[in-house]
């Protein structure tokens, strides 16, 4: 086929199409996973909400962000052209971590997302079809939310083969101009990487572009060190737990049939959400009462009286000489 005249919009559009075509074909041939350009490592930071974090790179030139990994939400967002964001300097955590703020004007590959884009969920808030698409996401934590506009830019990745190759993929994400609640201090001060099943999540976008299989994997060790890979299909030998999906609002829901606390087995028939963006496990009654009663009965240390500053019903005075005095819980 003949190419458009060099230097025209059509010429560069054709180049971009060719890049995506060959990149997608190459990845399909190797059929291997992708990692972020800085690697697939993740880490838990106790001082920042006990969440699991990793480093991502966005834009041209690339800017790095330390983002929390969240399977309980869909949108990837970073602080951007801030009206109200977590401080990047002068905070208890800023001396330990390098935090960035994204600006569309400082990235030569950044593009705003118009209201008529299929991924614009807030188009009813738009006044014109080609205006900037706004977004608002509220989270379970009290009064915690992010507000801004949707943008497109390059996410820097690499293949996980013996000979790693750089990959740049256009993704849609949130330019988070206003944050509230926990995002201003203890949780995800530099952005949140939504890994949910909706079309706007990064795994869904990369899969639609033909860059990877529609899957990802995460592993976390007891000390909080872990890894994340995109397009990882697992192995035939591994055990599996099927999802219990709500087709209208798909999440990583699973069915829990029993809970073992120490030596006690509790029958259960509940649906639970696997949410890496939540620090603790939460249960409703009657399972909560059964689990806590069994746990308390098997705990040898004394229970502390209720404290309005502590959001937990069962707290114990653990003696330093005994590092293993609590029963394990298995689902």
Positions marked active-site: 70, 275
SS3 sequence of the chain? CCCCCCCCHHHHHHHHHHHHHHHHHHHHHHCCCEEECCECEEEEEHHHCCEEEEEEEECCCCEEEEEEEECCCCCEEEEEEEEECCCCCCCCCCCCCCCCCECHHHCCCCEECECCCCCCCCHHHCCCCCCECEEEEECCCCCCEEEEEEEEEEEEEEECCCCCCEEEEEEEEEEEEEEEHHHHCCCCCCCEEECCCCCCCHHHHHHHCCCCCCCEEEEECCCCCEEEEECCCCCCCCCCCCCCCCCCCCCCEEEEEEEEECCEEEEEEEEEECCCCCCCCCCCCCHHHHHHHHHHHCCCCCECCCCCCCCCCCCECCCCCCCCCCCCEEC
Two structure tokens written together for 128: 């014109």
Distance CA 178, CA 145 (A): 8
């Amino acid at each position: 086929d003949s190419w458009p005249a060099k230097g025209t919009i059509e010429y560069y559009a054709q180049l971009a199409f060719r890049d995506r075509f060959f990149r997608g074909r190459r990845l399909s041939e190797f059929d291997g996973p992708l990692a972020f350009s800085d690697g697939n490592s993740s880490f838990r930071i106790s001082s920042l909400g006990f969440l699991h974090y990793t480093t991502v790179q966005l834009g041209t030139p690339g800017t790095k962000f330390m983002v929390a990994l969240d399977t309980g939400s869909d949108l990837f967002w970073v602080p951007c052209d801030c009206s109200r964001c977590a401080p990047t300097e002068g905070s208890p955590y800023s001396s330990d971590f390098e935090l960035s703020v994204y600006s569309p004007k400082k990235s030569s590959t950044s593009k705003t997302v118009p209201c008529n884009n299929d991924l614009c969920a807030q188009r009813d808030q738009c006044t014109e079809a080609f205006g900037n698409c706004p977004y608002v996401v509220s989270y379970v934590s009290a009064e915690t939310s992010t507000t801004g506009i949707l943008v497109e830019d390059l996410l820097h990745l690499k293949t996980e083969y013996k000979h790693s190759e750089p990959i740049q993929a256009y993704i849609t994400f949130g330019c988070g101009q206003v944050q509230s609640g926990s995002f201003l201090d203890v949780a995800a001060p530099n952005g949140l990487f939504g890994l949910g099943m909706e079309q706007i999540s990064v795994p869904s976008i990369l899969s639609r572009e033909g860059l990877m299989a529609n899957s990802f994997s995460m592993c976390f060790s007891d000390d909080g060190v872990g890894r994340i890979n995109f397009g990882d299909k697992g192995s035939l030998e591994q055990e599996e737990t099927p999802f219990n999906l709500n087709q209208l609002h798909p999440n990583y829901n699973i069915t829990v049939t029993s809970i073992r606390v120490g030596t006690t087995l509790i029958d259960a028939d509940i649906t639970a959400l696997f949410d890496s963006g939540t620090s603790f496990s939460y249960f409703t009654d009657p399972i909560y009462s059964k689990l806590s009663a069994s746990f308390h009965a098997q705990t040898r240390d004394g229970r502390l009286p209720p404290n309005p500053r502590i959001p937990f019903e069962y707290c114990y005075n653990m003696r330093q000489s005994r590092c293993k005095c609590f029963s394990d819980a298995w689902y």
